Amino acid sequence: MKKGMCITYEVDGNLYINITNRCTNNCDFCIRNNGDGAYGSDSLWLEREPTVEEILGAVFERDLDKYGEIVFCGYGEPTERLDDARACALRIKERTKTPIRINTNGHASLIKGCDAAPLFADAFDTVSISLNTPSAEKYVEKCHPVFKKDGFYGMLDFAKNVNKYVQNTVLSVVRETLTETELAECQKIADEIGVTLRVRTYIGKEDA
């Protein structure tokens, strides 16, 4: 595995920020299983986690106004460093009106051990949460969460809570990994929580 310090990379007109390789899941379909990078980036495996100042240094080298979105993503789960991600997002917001999204597995509250949803207020315009599957059993089977079934239930609680604090809360699923019935069940879950279901195609598009 090649390691480096690739903190920012571009995907489809968006700027992605890579702040950690840690994750509380180990999904079968994780983009990290396919190589070291994403969309032609350098290796996204980090030699070490960059500091807040290093992250901001890499971000501010870019012309932020030209991007559609600025996305806290991975190679890992960005809420493993939620306080740092929030600090960076608030500083970025002082420089640009480009909306900020965070792609997450929804385990922020489980990681923090308390309701982490208020920490998303003002910092992130969109929170995209990987739902992946409509059942806790399947979630454990596909995502191998360290929290076991609580990983699924905690993710749904987080989605409900964070929806009070951010403009757009999205649950995402990968089309190819679900049956029609499962897809309908995922839609029902999103409707019950009152958030959008985003059905994306595989190739790890913007997940990790």
Among 6, 23, 56, 102, binds ligand SF4 (CB under 6 A): 23
Question: Which residue number, 6 or 98, has a Cβ lying nearer to ligand SF4?
Answer: 6
Minimum distance, C-beta of residue 35 to ligand SF4, in the bound complex (Å): 13
Q: Which of 207, 129, 119 is nearest to 168 (CA)?
A: 129
Of 6, 27, 85, 110, the one binding ligand SF4 (CB under 6 A) is 27
The yes or no reply on residue 125 touching ligand SF4 (CB under 6 A) is no
Considering only CA atoms, which of 122, 132, 178 is closest in space to residue 159? 132
Exposure on the CB side of residue 102, measured as CA atoms within 13 A: 33
**Interaction of residue 71 with ligand SF4, rule CB under 6 A:** no
Could you say whether residue 32 binds ligand SF4 (CB under 6 A)?
A: yes
With binding defined as CB under 6 A, does residue 49 bind ligand SF4? no
- Residue 98 or 128: the one with the smaller Cβ distance to ligand SF4 is 128
